[in-house]
A and B are shown apart, each in its own frame.
Chain A
Amino acid sequence: MSALKIKKGSTSHSAYNLRPTFSDVVEKHTLAVLVENEPGVLARVIGLFSGRGYNIESLTVAEVDHQGHLSRITIVTTGTPQVIEQIKTQLGRIVPVHEVHDLTVEGASVERELAMFKVAGQGEKRVEALRLADIFRANVVDSTLESFIFEITGAPEKIDAFADLMRPLGLVEVARTGVAALPRGD
């Protein structure tokens, strides 16, 4: 364990195992970043991404350890292996960052996202939307005579698929939380 608590050699891409894998292939990685819950820490992380031109596909943040004063930021990002490596080491350099984990390469992990869909329509379309929601195990959390709000939880791909199905059935508004993720096992 290093001072930054990045597990040494825990992955082929860990911050302290810097064997280069320079390739042009753009990969999608999910990073879990444990940070000190102090003012400005999110601005530091976001500023790093915008300042150095990295991508953010999704970002979620919340306090996870009230006593330890720690928040967990889950970032889904894309880039070549070199860029991903840079993102991780640059994140590790931010003083209030305690740990950086690349869940994509540190073994299997579970990713979940919550989304709400407002679908407006009447007649057959409204019935079809309800039927599909049932198949996707989405819950109805609000309803009017002309609309539903569905709540759905799952991997981002599942939510994408649900959105594709709802679009022709009268999808008017979507709210998504972004990805939260945990590694499997212990």
Chain B
Amino acid sequence: MVVQSLIDQGVDTVFGYPGGAVLPIYDEVFQQNSIKHILVRHEQGAVHAAEGYARATGKPGVCLVTSGPGATNAVTGLTDALMDSIPIIVLTGQVPTFMIGSDAFQEADTVGITRPCTKHNWLVKETDALSGTLHEAFHVATSGRPGPVLVDIPKDVQFATGTYSGPKPSASHYQPRVKGDMEEITELVAAIETAKRPIFYTGGGVINSGPGASQLLRELVEATGFPITSTLMGLGAYPASGKHWVGMLGMHGLYEANMAMHDCDLMINIGARFDDRITGRIDAFSPKSKKAHIDIDPSSINKVIKTDIPIVGDVGHVLEDILKVWKSRGRKTNASAVAQWWTKIDEWKAVDCLKFKQEGKTIKPQYALERLEALTKDHDRYICTEVGQHQMWAAQYLGFEDPNRWMTSGGLGTMGYGFPASIGVQMGHPDALVINVAGEASWLMNMQELGTAMQFNLPVKQFILNNERLGMVRQWQELLHGERYSHSWSESLPDFVKLAEAFGAKGILCDDPADLDDAIMEMLNHDGPVLFDCLVEKHENCFPMIPSGKAHNEMLLGEAETQGVIDAKGSVLV
């Protein structure tokens, strides 16, 4: 019944790991050919792989794990998906209903443990309710603001036979509203018509809304000529090569993007949530602007930043209505003022906040990414990352032309996300080039998945910027803790080439800038998983940076005096 429900929901891939309490489902998986099962090496890997698959394909990701430790290992992935609004369905086995509560072997209160880290979860105690619950799970995960859901299925329920019912999404009382309020939309259009210093600030909501939303966004940006910036999660909704792109904003965002956010008079937030990485100091956040906020989740509006024009609805639907109203009112903008605004933005752009000098025999991480970009940008390419400095550099130095091509752990910041995510992406796009830009420390957190990549012949490229440090931790210790580098490096890193070979994969070591291009080409030309160990400058810091507790216009641009820039109040922030 479980497998039939998955098939009826159009599932073609499941990431999982068997165990005692899910054996009946695994038995069914064995006896069919419609669904591919990818055996991961750790349940956390299964969930991240499902996230990668979901984000790269726009379809929900599905996991199947056992009770107890299987379920608890899934918790990090569930929380990650909740923070980044990724639709995934996790099926967990549970001890039989008559043993629940008896501290049985591999029993855990799975729905209790995962209640705060799922959008919703269910414990199915009756077989007749199973198929309906599974279909409802898909409906909840994918409608409204997407998110992870979990269905806990006791073993006796798996064994029993019951009545199967097919998907009926309209039967659910959960029907979030997707159309925006026309009065508010008209008010926003009026603001667009007169704004002197407007900016679009877009987020992951545009990607979640689907490719149509990105298309409408592009149309609106081109038609109005307004500048556009995006959060980490929103990269690719508007192309990096687009004329109106001013780069990513936020803590490690571009100078021009943050300055424009600070000085704008109309901020149009589309599917972003004013995260603390974006806003910096709240009371100094874009003080002169009127703020519009389009979000499908009413609780995102006015949560952090006071909004003048709140619009609850799906980004795609709202953008369509904005375009319709704006066009019907004569496609007006304050063109001369916007042109002046662009002059100002171009001045900020001229600061060239991402400039760096590649000199000597050590590879700068920025240089490595610049070369990776140059050599891969024409490929059908998907990029994943782990979490840390390399993640920020990847966001800064790689260009994303389309949505669903950038998989990163934004909200939760989960080290160990990228490698399994890349496996999920490759499953969704078998012929594409999938690269995981990693740090060596993050990568090691889920390195066991190399076995998965080998077993299923998934040619994922692991591009490790190896500085032998927890780079971002080290950077904060330098800025904030008097250069006392408490436990932010490893003294026993593996030989990554040999590690790759031990799994039967290919390992490449590169430590010379002169060899870099050839080594990257070697990676691209190898048909199979590659572990690319790129030894980079150990003490490079990630700039630009808005220090904790500071405003957008107080960015640090480079290796200038960084000591003491974070005051006591800022130092308690993360």
Contacts and interface: CB of A to CB of B under 8 A. Distances in A.
Contact of B302 (A16, A18, A44, A47): A18
A163 B554 CA distance: 56
B61 interface: no
A173 to B, nearest CB: 32
A16 B181 contact: yes
B111 interface: yes
B174 interface: yes
Nearest to B291: A20
Contacts of A92: 298-299
Given A86-B303, A95-B140, A18 B116 contact: no
A118 interface: no
Interface in A1-36: 2-4, 15-16, 18-20, 22, 36
A93 interface: yes
Contact of B306 (A20, A40, A51, A90): A20
A115 B58 CA distance: 54
A77 to B, nearest CB: 15
Contacts of B51: none
A95 B120 contact: yes
Contacts of B301: 18, 89
B116 A47 contact: yes
Nearest to B119: A95
A47 B297 contact: no
B10 interface: no
Nearest to A82: B302
Interface in A81-123: 82, 85-86, 89-90, 92-96, 98
Interface string B150-191: 000000000000000000000001111100010000000000
A109 B249 CA distance: 47
Contacts of B116: 47, 51
A85 B111 CA distance: 28
Contact of B299 (A39, A90, A95, A98): A90
Given A3-B176, A47-B116, A16 B298 contact: yes
A15 B298 contact: yes
Contacts of B303: 86
B309 to A, nearest CB: 10
A145 interface: no
B134 interface: no
A13 to B, nearest CB: 11
B287 interface: no
B532 to A, nearest CB: 41
A47 B115 contact: yes
B536 interface: no
Contacts of B119: 95
Contacts of B115: 40, 43-44, 47
A72 B62 CA distance: 34
Contacts of B140: 95
B392 interface: no
Interface string B346-367: 0000000000000000000000
A2 B302 contact: no
Contacts of A44: 115
A18 B177 contact: no
A98 B312 CA distance: 18
Given A3-B176, A16-B181, A95-B174, A40 B299 contact: no
B112 interface: yes
Interface in A38-79: 39-40, 43-44, 47, 51
B224 interface: no
B477 interface: no
Given A18-B301, A47-B116, A51-B116, A3 B175 contact: yes
Nearest to A18: B310
Contact of A85 (B120, B173, B177, B302): B302
B157 to A, nearest CB: 15
B177 A2 contact: yes
B207 interface: no
Contact of B307 (A4, A15, A20, A51): A20
B64 interface: no
Contacts of A18: 298, 301-302, 307, 310, 312
A39 B302 contact: no
A47 B111 CA distance: 13
A36 to B, nearest CB: 8
B123 interface: yes
A3 B175 CA distance: 5
Contact of A93 (B111, B123, B297, B302): B297
Contact of B298 (A89, A94, A95, A96): A89
Given A89-B301, A93-B145, 19 more contacts: A3-B177, A16-B177, A18-B307, A19-B310, A22-B302, A40-B111, A40-B121, A43-B112, A47-B115, A47-B116, A82-B302, A86-B302, A89-B297, A92-B299, A93-B299, A94-B120, A95-B119, A95-B120, A98-B173
22 contacts: A4-B176, A15-B298, A16-B177, A18-B298, A18-B312, A22-B302, A22-B306, A36-B173, A43-B115, A47-B115, A51-B116, A86-B299, A86-B303, A89-B298, A89-B301, A90-B299, A92-B299, A93-B145, A93-B299, A94-B120, A95-B120, A95-B140
6 nearest A-B pairs in the assembled complex, by CB-CB distance = A89-B299, A18-B310, A3-B175, A95-B120, A89-B298, A20-B306
Interface of B: 111-112, 115-116, 119-121, 123, 140, 145, 173-177, 181, 297-299, 301-303, 306-307, 310, 312
